[in-house]
Amino acid sequence: MGVTPSGATAPDGPLVPVIVEGAAGAAAAGVERLGGVVDRRLSILDGLHARVPAAGIPALARLDGVRAVTPDGALVALDEVWGDDDTHEDEQASLATGRWEADHDLGSTHIIAKATGAENVWSQSDPHDGQRKLTGHGVGVALIDTGVTPVHGLDGPGKVVNGPDLSLDSQSANLRHLDGYGHGTHMAGIIAGRDGGVRSGSENDKQYFVGMAPDARIVNVKAGAADGSVDVSQVIAGIDWVVTNRASHNIRVLNLSYGTDSAQSYELDPLAHAVESAWRAGIVVVVAAGNDGESGPRPLTMPAIDPFVIAVGSSDHLGYDDRALHVVGSWTNSGTSARRPDLLAPGKSVVSLRVHGSFADAGHPEALVTGDASGRLFRGSGTSQSAAVVAGAAALLLQQDPRLTPDQVKGVLMTNADRLRADDSPVQGAGVLDVKGAHEQVKSGLVPAHTQSWAHSTGTGSLDAARGGVYLTDPATSTALRGEQDVFGVQWDATAWAAASSARTAWSGGTWRGTVWTGDGWSDGAWPTVAWTTPSWTGVAWGDRSWSRMSWRADDWQRMSWRDDDWQRMSWRADDWQRMSWRVADVW
C-alpha cells in the first residue's frame, strides 16, 4: 500500500529527483505543497534532496532564499545506501584470494563480534550448564519486522519460529511469514545467524556466517509487508502479542526497527506505552534511533524517544580497524539534550544474509558482496543493523544471568560502553557497545539495580498522532487510514487498550481488541494464520482482494533508493515512499 503525507497535494505527473540549495525549511514546505517528497536534508548546502513534479521546479526555484534547484540523475541518499562500501571493504576482503574473507571486512559479523567482545563471551561457560558456552542458548529474541525467510544461516532446527503474521501479506499463502522485503532476514542474521557447519566452540571460524548470539532463537512476528507497508496499529498489536506470549519461547529481547514522527509526547503515545508494557514484563526492548542524520538537533523517532527502552545509534569505522578512529555514524538521529541515543554499535556497511529476489535485493545489486561466490550475503548501513547487534549482545547477557531486569541490562551495557576517542559528539550516548566488559560485570554478580524512574506513558494519546502524519492508502478506494481506527476500521479506545496492554491481556488467543487477527495458538511450531473476515478500514472485505496476483512493488522502483534503515525512515515512516502502492498485474 502507498502512503500519503498529511496536507500534500496529489503529484502532478512523474516525480523527478532534484537537489535544492538554500532555504531548506521553506523548500521542504514548498516540496510538500507541490505533492513532492523530501528525501534528505543536505546540511552542507542548507538544502535538501527531494522529488517533485517536473512542472513544479520553476516555482520551487523562485522561493525566497533558494539559490538553485538542480535535477539529480539518481536518487541516492548520499553514501548511505544498500551496498555503501565507500571504504572498499569488498576489495580488501577479496584481494588476496579473489574470495571474500570475513576477517578482512570491517562490516562482517565476524569482525563486529570480535570488536564488540562477543567473540570473547562465546568462549565463556554457561554457569547453569557447564556443557554449554555463552552463545545466547535458550533466549528468545522477538523480531517485529518484515518477516524472516529461512535462508542458509537461519534454517537450523528451531532457529526461527513463526509467531503471528500481522502484515498485509498474511492473506497470501506464498508470502505468509516470509520476508519479501529483505530487511527482517538481514536483522535476524545479525542477531542470531548460525551456519549449520559451525561446530560448538568454533563460532569464531571466519569461513562461516555467525551472528552476535548464534544460539538464540528468533521469534518472527511479521508486521511489514513485502513493500514495507504497515500501520502503527499493526506494530502495537505485534508488541502486545509478544508480551502476552513471552513465556512460550522465553522471549527476553524485542528488536524493533520501526519509528514514526509521532506528533505527541511519549507520555501519551500508544506505541511508547506498548514498549513500556514489554519492558515491565521483563523484555529488553532494543530500538533503532533513526537515520535522519546529525544536521542539527533532531528528536529520536518514536518509540526510541521513550527513555525506558534502549535507543541505539551507529558507529562508523571510516575504513579504519583501529577503534580509536571511529566516529558517530552521520546518519544517526542526534536527538536533543533531553534524549540522545543510549549507546552506539557498528552500523556501517554491515554484511548479513540476503533474500534472493526480495524488494531490496531486486533494486540494489550493488549490495551484493564482491568475492562471495555463494551469493548469499548482502550489505547495508543503518541504525537497524546497530540495534540488531545490541539485541544479540543482550541475549548473551541474559543467558549468563536470566534474573537480570531490562533496567539492569540497559544499565550494564551503558556503564561498560567505550567512549569514542576521535569524536566527542554527545550523540554517542554512553559510547560504543562493549559486551565483553558488560559480561564481566554480570559474571561478577556486582550489577546494581539501575532502576529507571522516568514518567510512564499512559498510552491514552491519539493513535492517529502516533502515525506522524503518514497514512496507508488503499489504491482501490483512495482511502487513507486516518483517525482513531486500526487497519480493520475498528474504533481505537485508548483507555481500554492501555489498561489491557499494561495487564498483558491485550490478546486472547488470536483476537486483539475484539477482532480476530490470527490463529489461537501454536501449531507445528508456528502461529497459524486465518482469513480476515472483518473488513478493512475502507469497508472493503479482505476476501475480495486478488491476493494471489499481488506484485507488491513500487510504482517507480527504479528511481528509488533504499539504505538499510531507510526501511525505518522511509517505508515505515514513509518519508520516501509517498508514491508506493499495492499493485496487481493489471487491476486491483
Q: What would the grid cell of residue 201 be?
A: 566452540
How deeply is 584 buried, as exposed, middle or buried, from its count of CB atoms within 10 A (0-12, 13-18, 19+)?
middle
How deeply is 545 buried, as exposed, middle or buried, from its count of CB atoms within 10 A (0-12, 13-18, 19+)?
buried
Q: What would the grid cell of residue 46 be?
A: 542548507
Judge whether 248 counts as a catalytic residue.
no
CA separation for the pair 260, 270 (Å, rounded): 12
The type of residue at 426 is P
Q: Which position among 145, 231, 269, 575 bears the catalytic label?
A: 145
- Whether residue 520 contacts residue 567, with contact meaning beta carbons closer than 8 Å, is answered with no
Q: DSSP character for 415?
A: H
Residue among 67, 126, 95 at smallest CA distance from 371: 95
Q: DSSP character for 147?
A: -
Judge whether 145 counts as a catalytic residue.
yes
The type of residue at 372 is D
Helix axes 406-415, 435-444, angle to 10 degrees: 120
Task: Compute, in degrees rounded to 10, the torsion defined by CA atoms 58, 63, 66, 67.
Answer: 50
CA separation for the pair 341, 413 (Å, rounded): 13
Residue among 407, 284, 293 at smallest CA distance from 341: 293
Coil/strand/helix, residue 220: strand
Q: Which position among 183, 249, 273, 326 bears the catalytic label?
A: 183
Judge whether 561 counts as a catalytic residue.
no
Q: DSSP character for 306?
A: S
- Whether residue 39 contacts residue 49, with contact meaning beta carbons closer than 8 Å, is answered with yes
CA separation for the pair 246, 231 (Å, rounded): 23
**Whole-number Cα distances in Å, 254 to 330, 392, 402:** 25, 10, 15
CA separation for the pair 465, 262 (Å, rounded): 6
Between CA 440 and CA 451, with CA 446 as vertex, the angle to 5 degrees is: 110
Q: Which position among 108, 314, 384, 561 bears the catalytic label?
A: 384
User: How many C-beta atoms surround the C-beta of residue 106 within 10 A?
Assistant: 22
Residue that has been written with the C-alpha cell 544499565 in this structure: 411
The residues carrying an active-site annotation are 145, 183, 384
